């Protein structure tokens, strides 16, 4: 990620919308230079939000607007011409668009820009768990012949609590189910990652979770990759991943 400062005045700038307000089914336009075709605009809808894609930015806006190689870094805008995301990747067995394009939401983009301006590096906050969607966990257990009742089918099942992490310090345990963070429902892991992508080490979050189907609340102080609350100013490639 590179942040460029342009020493000029009176430059036109795009209006940045809050990607959290985007609705599934909303019409969007993707702008870019795909396959060497400059200033190409394609149209589609928002297919999904908080889509989990690999180990990078894992809370993506999915769209069926045609996105190909060369669209990366281009704008994904709503019908009012407001920026809602930065085109980032496609998912395709052929390498060409087949209806699955992904964009980094502006809610995450804004935080990344502020981090680079203030600290010189992106600040990644970690909740300190490994887990999966409750529905995925229940389905996996059913395949093994196990009937599981966690008290909900929506949330994050904690499969492992990282030693010295934020969750461990707050008393969360394997088998707990996270249902809310700062009064925001988290139904799937991508939503959890989207919230974490907007936080910094040292931030406090309120977590609601189920243990043996009983609701509990904990306050977590988020940590960085080294399990401290310090700001990372000179992160190397190994740290950033």
Q: What's the average model confidence in pLDDT over 62-89?
A: 91
Burial class (CB in 10 A: 0-12, 13-18, 19+), 65: buried
What is the tens place of the pLDDT at every residue in 141-164?
999 999 999 999 999 999 999 999
In the chain, what is the straight-line distance between the N-terminal and C-terminal CA atoms, in Å? Answer: 13
Q: In angstroms, rounded to a whole number, what is the distance separating the alpha carbons of residues 12 and 32?
A: 18
**32 versus 231: which is more confidently predicted?**
32
pLDDT at 226: 86
**pLDDT at position 27, please?**
98
- The continuous run of DSSP H or E covering 237 comes out as helix 237-240
The two three-digit tokens of residue 217, written as one number: 């609340």
Nearest partner of 173 among 163, 184, 185, 187, judged by Cα: 163
- Res 126 pLDDT > 60: yes
Q: What is the pLDDT of residues 89-123, one digit of tens each?
A: 766 656 666 668 889 999 999 999 999 999 998 89
Phi, psi values for residue 139, rounded to 5°: -60, -40
Q: Which of 37-51, 58-72, 206-220 has the highest mean pLDDT?
A: 206-220
Q: How far apart are CA 31 and CA 52, in angstroms?
A: 23
11 C-beta neighbours (distance < 10 Å), count: 6
pLDDT at residue 57, rounded to an integer:
59
Residue 237 has pLDDT above 50, yes or no: no
Q: What is the pTM of this model?
A: 0.78
> How many Cα atoms sit within 13 Å of 81 on the Cβ side?
3
């Amino acid at each position: 990620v590179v942040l460029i400062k342009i020493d000029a005045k009176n430059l036109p700038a795009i209006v940045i919308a809050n990607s959290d307000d985007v609705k599934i089914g909303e019409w969007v336009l993707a702008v870019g230079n795909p396959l060497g075709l400059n200033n190409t605009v394609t149209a589609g809808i928002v297919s999904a939000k908080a889509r989990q894609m690999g180990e990078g930015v894992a809370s993506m806006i999915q769209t069926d607007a045609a996105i190909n190689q060369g669209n990366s870094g281009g704008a994904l805008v709503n019908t009012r011409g407001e920026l809602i995301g930065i085109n980032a990747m496609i998912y395709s067995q052929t390498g060409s668009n087949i209806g699955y394009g992904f964009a980094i939401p502006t809610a995450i983009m804004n935080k990344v820009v502020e981090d680079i301006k203030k600290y010189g590096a992106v600040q990644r906050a970690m909740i300190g768990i490994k887990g999966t969607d409750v529905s995925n966990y229940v389905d996996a257990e059913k395949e093994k012949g196990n009937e599981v009742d966690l008290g909900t089918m929506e949330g994050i099942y904690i499969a492992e609590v990282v030693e010295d992490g934020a969750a461990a310090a707050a008393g969360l345990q394997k088998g707990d189910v996270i249902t809310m963070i700062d009064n925001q429902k988290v139904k799937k892991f991508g939503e959890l990652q989207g919230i974490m992508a907007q936080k910094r080490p040292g931030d406090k979050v309120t977590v609601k979770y189920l243990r043996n189907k009983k609701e509990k609340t904990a306050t977590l102080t988020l940590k960085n990759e080294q399990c401290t609350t310090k700001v990372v100013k000179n992160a190397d490639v190994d740290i950033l991943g």
